[in-house]
């Protein structure tokens, strides 16, 4: 049996949160860069599938491939960490400042990775700026404007709406990260994490790292969106909503479901054997690379 029990998964989440926070800054930045670029690859793959098939669900079916690569290679996706690091803070394994340090460096890495891929993809899509006929160009422009100006036109209600969509998104995304810990086999991890990611993408919810690629890519292609529009009407509220969805609905929710009021101590030995190989825990790597810089 390669199934890992929920109580053991919860311990793996705490261990993963501690390991992530204790990683050195260079590792956070590099892993964040690679994760951002890979997720951007998956986003353009999904958009291509929709353009070729005219079936929206086609994109949702293949988008999780990027998430799987990120998890199995032990890279850093801040949206997944939103569920795990707060648990480590709550268990007093790390400090609040450790958590902020991780988020800052990983988000910086995401931005660099997403912008790097956006630039290369824009050059590829337009054939070095000579051809604007690809339907994906209009897709990115329209998506960029919808994710910013679409909320701006609603005023205050737009801010509330984008936060709600971000909460719903990362509730599923963090479940995907956690589901990777429910199996000790690679195939089991892939199948388990695929489902929640597909659910979020199919419904058009707001994911902070995806937006770090989509919105600036649309801007590069001519979308009528400013940097202020991007951050005020999407990126900042989406990061907030993603944090709420991950920390409260997944992290605290699972803790309450399996540990609240329990007299059984959380022991990490068995959980680390199972969960530390998931890619999200990074137990082995942080034992070697976990010194702070």
Euclidean distance between CA atoms 110 and 207, whole angstroms: 12
pLDDT in tens, 52-78: 999 999 999 999 999 999 999 999 999
The mean pLDDT value of the chain amounts to 91
| Dihedral, CA of residue 221, residue 226, residue 231 and residue 235, to nearest 10 | -20
64 domain-assigned: yes
65 domain-assigned: yes
User: Is residue 259 very low, low, confident or very high in pLDDT (cuts 50, 70, 90)?
Assistant: confident
- CATH number of 244's domain: 1.20.1080.10
pLDDT for the residue 287: 39
Euclidean distance between CA atoms 188 and 183, whole angstroms: 5
Does residue 43 surpass a pLDDT of 80? yes
Q: Give the three-class secondary structure for 183.
A: strand
277 domain-assigned: yes
Helix then strand then coil, % of the chain, to nearest 5: 75, 0, 25
22 domain-assigned: yes
Total tally of structural domains belonging to the chain? 1
pLDDT in tens, 196-216: 999 999 999 999 999 999 999
Cα distances from 80 to residues 106, 193, 232, in angstroms, run 11, 12, 23
User: Is residue 288 very low, low, confident or very high in pLDDT (cuts 50, 70, 90)?
Assistant: very low
1 domain-assigned: no
Euclidean distance between CA atoms 43 and 41, whole angstroms: 5
Measured from the Cβ of residue 117, the count of other Cβ atoms closer than 10 Å reads 22
The upper half-sphere exposure of residue 241, i.e. CA atoms within 13 Å in the direction of its Cβ, equals: 25
- Domain limits at 227? 6-289
Give Cβ neighbours of residue 146 (< 8 Å, ≥ 6 apart). Answer: none
260 domain-assigned: yes
Closest CA to 159 of 240, 82, 249, 244: 240
């Amino acid at each position: 049996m390669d199934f890992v029990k929920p109580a053991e998964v919860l311990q793996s989440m705490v261990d993963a949160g501690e390991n992530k926070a204790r990683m050195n800054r260079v590792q956070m930045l590099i892993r964040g860069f690679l994760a951002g670029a890979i997720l951007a690859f998956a986003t353009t793959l999904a958009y291509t599938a929709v353009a070729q098939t005219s079936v929206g669900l086609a994109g949702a079916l293949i988008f999780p491939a990027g998430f799987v690569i990120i998890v199995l290679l032990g890279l850093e996706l801040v949206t997944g960490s939103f569920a795990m690091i707060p648990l480590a803070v709550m268990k007093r394994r790390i400090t609040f400042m450790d958590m902020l340090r991780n988020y800052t460096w990983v988000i910086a890495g995401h931005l660099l990775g997403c912008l790097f891929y956006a630039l290369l993809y824009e050059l590829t899509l337009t054939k070095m700026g000579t051809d604007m006929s690809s339907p994906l160009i209009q897709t990115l422009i329209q998506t960029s404007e919808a994710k910013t100006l679409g909320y701006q036109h609603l005023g205050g209600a737009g801010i509330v709406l984008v936060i709600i969509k971000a909460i719903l998104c990362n509730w599923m995304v963090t479940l995907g990260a956690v589901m990777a810990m429910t199996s000790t086999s690679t195939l089991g991890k892939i199948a388990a994490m695929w489902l929640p990611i597909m659910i979020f993408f199919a419904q058009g919810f707001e994911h902070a790292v995806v937006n770090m690629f989509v919105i600036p890519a649309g801007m590069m292609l001519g979308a009528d969106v400013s940097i202020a529009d991007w951050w005020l009407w999407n990126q900042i509220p989406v990061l907030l909503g993603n944090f709420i969805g991950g920390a409260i609905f997944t992290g605290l929710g699972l803790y309450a479901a399996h540990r609240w009021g329990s007299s059984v101590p959380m022991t990490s030995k068995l959980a680390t054997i199972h969960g530390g190989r998931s890619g999200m825990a990074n137990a082995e790597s942080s034992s070697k690379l976990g010194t702070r810089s």
